[in-house]
Amino acid sequence: MHSNLWIFIWRRKLSFLLVVSGLVLLGLWTWAILIDTTAAAQPSAALSSSERQQQQQSTGYQQVHIIQKLIEQANRVLRAERLKDNAVEKSPSPVQRLGNVRFLRPTQAKKAPLPMSESFLFEQERLKILEQQQRQRNAGMEELNANAEDERMLSSAERQTQYEHELQRMGVPVVAGIGPHGPRAPTERLVHLDLKGAPPKLSFLKQLLPVLRALGATGLLIEYEDMFPYSGVLQPLAAHNAYKEDELRDFLECAALHGLSVMPLVQTFGHMEYVLKLSGFEQLRELAESPQSICPSQPQSTALLEQMLTQVIELHLQCLGQATPASAVPVAPIRFTHIHIGCDEVQRMGECTTCRQRLRSELFLSHVVSIAHFIRRQWPQLAVVIWDDQLRSMSLSELQHSQVGSYVEPMVWVYASDIYRYIQPQLWDTYAKVFPSAWTASAFKGAFGESLLVPPLQHHLENNIRWLAVIAKEGGRFSKGLRGLALTGWQRYDHFAVLCELLPVGIPSLMTSLSTVSKGYFSTNPRDNELLRVLQCVFQPDSRRSGRPWLELHPNAHHSQLFAVCNYPGHLVFKYALRLYEKLAEIGLYLQQTRDQSAWLSDYNVRHNFSSPLRVRELTGRVPMLIEELRAMAREAQQLLWEVYDEYTVTEFVEQHIYPTIEALQRQLARAEMLLQRRTWPQRPLPLPLKVKEDMGLVTYQQQ
């Protein structure tokens, strides 16, 4: 009886296993439901909705994981049993013999296939679990899509707030109203090339033209000064390293091929040092001791200015009037529509005996109208532009009476962040009543220090962004609107000044401001900002883990680390200037500490030849190494700058920025050598040197 029962159980073992597994699964499901019900019944007022949702999801994931493990284990048991049964069926049945009687082991009946409901039980459960996981993933995607839709449904004010927050993270100045949905960009975006006294090689400027065009520049404002190839009686005005006429023609044609207009700038009142400093022209000065401004009351002055303008205008008309070669790619029509005649910062005006008889405003306006009338009469297609600073103090009646608005267009320039401090709304209203249209001018270098090495990028960018807001606000005052913005980059503050930031060093500032002005706002999206693509910058996109934006500007820094990994014309000079700036700052701090703060190498120690030899050697031990480092950097400057400038500009740069520091270090060594030569020292108190006593006007107690 028992043997028959065990045989029955053995033959139906798979069915019993399925029943047991089903009971186990039923118990697990019941246990999961009870736990879920108990957790839901507990007070959850302290939990937020997001926390409760996360808790429920984590509990569900735990249950699903346990069930998956059990199903996998049951499937492995079933597969093992099936393989064992197959092996038994294939093996021959063993036969036992006892005499003539043969005993056979009971044969197992052939197993029928499992019913469909039993064989696919676990597969169906697995599919249900997968479907549940897919529904959870779909719910997450729907939530993300809903968030994106919410962002699209944000109001313009909310999007502007997000944009300004991103600007603050990057250190980019925030100006109200300027953003992706703000006013349009200026129609014309001119890049100023100041060539006086430090002319870049035209081959370098040619490499720069496609970059300027790609970032949105529409034209060039070229200030030649003594770099123009004057000829004839004006030949002395050209510097010895002035451009050759054929080289200049080739450059102007190249600018035309890139679709850039050209506006020449010829000073005709102030900043005439390059002319009036020369022998044979000194009689045209307003004051004999100053070659800064020309006397407008002398007929020879007008004749000289007309000859200068004629040579400059004719050369540009000939170059830009040539047809584009047939092999070249068709470009936009060539434009030479304006000429700039300067007239800014006219110092000591109206001080000669003849000019004193007239008002300063009348003297200035009559001279400007006379020069502009000559240009309009000779070349009617050209409009005349002047700087506006001399007009700011004049009244509306004086401007209207002179009819200057019919002859010139003012270019309003401010390089500071607070533009309305210099150009008040009342002055904008006055200009709009006199001039049908006007220009504006910002700066990308040469505006925050006469001898800076690296331009403060953040200050220049803020100046340009604030100009965008001013143009949008004040442009409607003029009947023909504001024509555009010129980004100036001064190379010297005047003809006699030393170099300020070199053009290659100012390229990151120029490109950042130019791309912003051309777009009408600063784009915070690295994939939407043309700056990275054009300058070929290698950058790391913004990471949520680090929280660092792709561009970081700081008030006390002159640059962003981004531009140290870019590849653009002049990038090696920019990186060199950064290293030189840091080295000069390091040496300057050392000299200040040893000379002004040290107790053994101060001026007092040197005057009295009284100091500790050990301390002196300790303080001057690094000086020879620092001198050698600067000499190596001077040789490196010669190699790098030779690609951009001629030998005269290179030597001037080295002499201006490196040689003074080498001199200071050599003086430091000489002072130390003098102190080290002494072997005995006098008793205290030390007497006051006679020269110090005389210079300070002191008397001794004996004299009293």
What residues form DSSP beta bridges with 102? 97
Q: How far apart are CA 490 and CA 570, in angstroms?
A: 17
Q: Do you find a cis peptide bond into 685, omega within 30 degrees of 0?
A: yes
The encoded tokens of residue 487 equal: 């980004």
* Phi and psi at residue 482, to the nearest 5°: -90, 130
Q: What is the dihedral of CA 506, 341, 375, 433, to 10 degrees?
A: 100
The encoded tokens of residue 643 equal: 């690609």
The encoded tokens of residue 599 equal: 């107790």
The encoded tokens of residue 314 equal: 């004719």
Q: What is the 3-state secondary structure (H, E, C) of 385-447?
A: EEECHHHCCCCHHHHHHHCHHHCEEEEEECCCCCHHHCCCHHHHHHHHHHCCCEEEEEEEECC
What residues form DSSP beta bridges with 184? none
Question: What are the angstrom distances between the C-alpha of 25 and each of 63, 79, 121, 152?
Answer: 12, 19, 11, 47
Q: How far apart are CA 344 and CA 362, in angstroms?
A: 16
Q: How far apart are CA 663 and CA 654, in angstroms?
A: 13
Q: How far apart are CA 7 and CA 627, in angstroms?
A: 103
The encoded tokens of residue 629 equal: 């480092």
Instruction: Find all residues with CB under 8 Å of 414, minimum gap 6, and list them.
Output: 422, 423, 441, 442, 463, 467
Q: How far apart are CA 465 and CA 95, in angstroms?
A: 102
Confirm whether 345 is a catalytic residue. yes
The DSSP element (H or E) to which 261 belongs, if any, is strand 261-265
Question: What are the angstrom distances between the C-alpha of 608 and each of 7, 605, 692, 695?
Answer: 121, 5, 11, 16
Looking at residue 40, its amino acid is A
What residues form DSSP beta bridges with 264? 222
247, 345, 530, 652: the catalytic one is: 345
Instruction: Find all residues with CB under 8 Å of 77, minimum gap 6, and list them.
Output: 17
Q: Please compute, for residue 683, the number of CA atoms within 13 A of its CA located in the half-sphere on the CB side.
A: 0
Q: Pick from 319, 317, 433: which is nearest to 382 by CA?
A: 317
Looking at residue 428, its amino acid is W
Segments in 498-548 forming alpha helices (H):
507-519, 530-534
Q: Which residues are catalytic?
A: 345
